[in-house]
Amino acid sequence: MMMALGNRSARRLGFLLSTLKSEIYVPLARPAAAFGTSVTSAKVAVNGVHLHYQQTGEGDHAVLLLPGMLGLEGSGETDFGPQIKNLNKKLFTVVAWDPRGYGQSRPPDRDYPLDFFERDAKDAVDLMKTLKFKKVSLLGWSDGGITALIAAAKYPSYIHKMVIWGANAYVTEEDEMIYQGIRDVSKWSEKSRKPLETLYGYDYLAKTCEKWVDGIKQFKHLPDGNICRHLLPLIQCPTLIVHGEKDPLVPRFHPDFIHKHVKGSRLHLMPEGKHNLHLRFANEFNKLAEDFLQ
Ligand code: TYC
């Protein structure tokens, strides 16, 4: 988390405000002083669980960042370092959440019933409503992109705009093979595993990864491997789909399908982008997202 040094009275005011709001949320860290750059970390009760989120910026436009599974590089917190740090804080109020069972939104342990994406979508929307945002835009990565698609389809009046990348609306045999390849975390590279192992501990990480693979493979047995194909035509908000042409996890037919079925959506290709294009090409991605959201 970023902490900017600043004057003491601003810090006191920030602390006071967080104390006043403590009925709704429990501050985990005192907001840092300079409002422009401070990041608040808190938990709030939503749908029977305590969801953890970070919040930064003071703009009128609320943006929720939705992480991927586990999420790949950590949680809402670490999946989106360059976005939390650099998205325009005058224009946007940025919230990054940990879905239930991920990051600091534990307990409960993560589980994957067939409706887990719908549950995440409802949790995400209810979190933002609890935080008193009237309407929000979504930036969803990977599983977080799937959650964003479902939230936009099911709660259209609440979603302003949406940017998604690394998402898929259905599961194919090719996807199933890729899932199988990442099921055993002992086979991951040290570089991919270490940050998640530090956050979760080896056992929770290993167990949850296996559960996720089994969870997402459930969709393969539904007609057309359906996750949220049927919901795409219901999406009304302006939608930008970003795709890294070198993404080893998500084949090109997935963004093409979403582009075809979400009315008026835009597809932006990043030739050198992989699955983590918003981290590797953070400045380019942030500019793209900011321009689209405005
Ligand atoms: N959706 C996964 C996530 O949220 C990433 C992933 C995508 C993994 C496709 C495998 O075939 C795959 N991080």
Where in the sequence numbering do the catalytic residues fall?
Answer: 142, 247, 275
| Ligand 1 neighbourhood includes 169 CB (under 6 angstroms) | no
Q: Which two tokens stand for residue 189?
A: 């590279």
Q: Which ligand 1 atom is nearest residue 250's CA?
A: 9
Confidence band, pLDDT 50/70/90 cuts, at residue 6: very low
Task: Return the residue matching tokens 């709030």.
Answer: 44
| Ligand 1 neighbourhood includes 72 CB (under 6 angstroms) | yes
Distance 197 CA to ligand 1 centre (A): 18
The answer, yes or no, to whether residue 32 has pLDDT greater than 80, is no
Query: How far from 113 is each of 82, 149, 217, 225, CA to CA, in Å?
Result: 32, 18, 11, 16
Omega prior to 107 cis, within 30 of 0: yes
| Ligand 1 neighbourhood includes 208 CB (under 6 angstroms) | no
pLDDT, mean of residues 135-154: 98
Which residues have a Cβ under 8 Å from the Cβ of 65 and sit 6 or more positions away?
76, 79, 80, 83, 84, 94, 95, 96, 97, 139, 140, 141, 144
- The one-letter amino acid code at 119 reads R
Distance 69 CA to ligand 1 centre (A): 7
Backbone φ, ψ for residue 91 (5° rounding): -85, -35
Each residue's pLDDT tens digit, 229-287:
999 999 999 999 999 999 999 999 999 999 999 999 999 999 999 999 999 999 999 99
Confidence band, pLDDT 50/70/90 cuts, at residue 24: very low
Each residue's pLDDT tens digit, 187-238:
999 988 998 999 999 999 999 999 999 999 999 999 999 999 999 999 999 9
Q: Is the pTM of this model over 0.85?
A: yes
Q: Are 255 and 267 in contact (CB under 8 A)?
A: yes
Distance 227 CA to ligand 1 centre (A): 13
Highest mean pLDDT among 29-33, 36-40, 165-169: 165-169
Distance 142 CA to ligand 1 centre (A): 6
The mean pLDDT of the chain is: 88
Confidence band, pLDDT 50/70/90 cuts, at residue 175: very high
pLDDT of the residue at 267 = 98
pLDDT, mean of residues 151-162: 98
Each residue's pLDDT tens digit, 49-105:
999 999 999 999 999 999 999 864 445 556 899 999 999 999 999 999 999 999 999
Backbone φ, ψ for residue 151 (5° rounding): -65, -40
Q: d(Cα 160, Cα 102) in Å, to the nearest integer?
A: 26
Q: Which ligand 1 atom is nearest residue 167's CA?
A: 1
CA-wise closest residue to 79 among 94, 91, 97: 97
pLDDT of the residue at 191 = 85
| Ligand 1 neighbourhood includes 14 CB (under 6 angstroms) | no
Backbone φ, ψ for residue 240 (5° rounding): -110, 125
The DSSP output letter for 170 is: B
Kindly give the interhelix angle for 143-154 and 116-130, rounded to the nearest 10 degrees: 70
Q: Are 11 and 37 in contact (CB under 8 A)?
A: no
pLDDT of the residue at 79 = 86
| Ligand 1 neighbourhood includes 142 CB (under 6 angstroms) | yes
| Ligand 1 neighbourhood includes 178 CB (under 6 angstroms) | yes
Count CA within 13 A, CB hemisphere, residue 21. 20
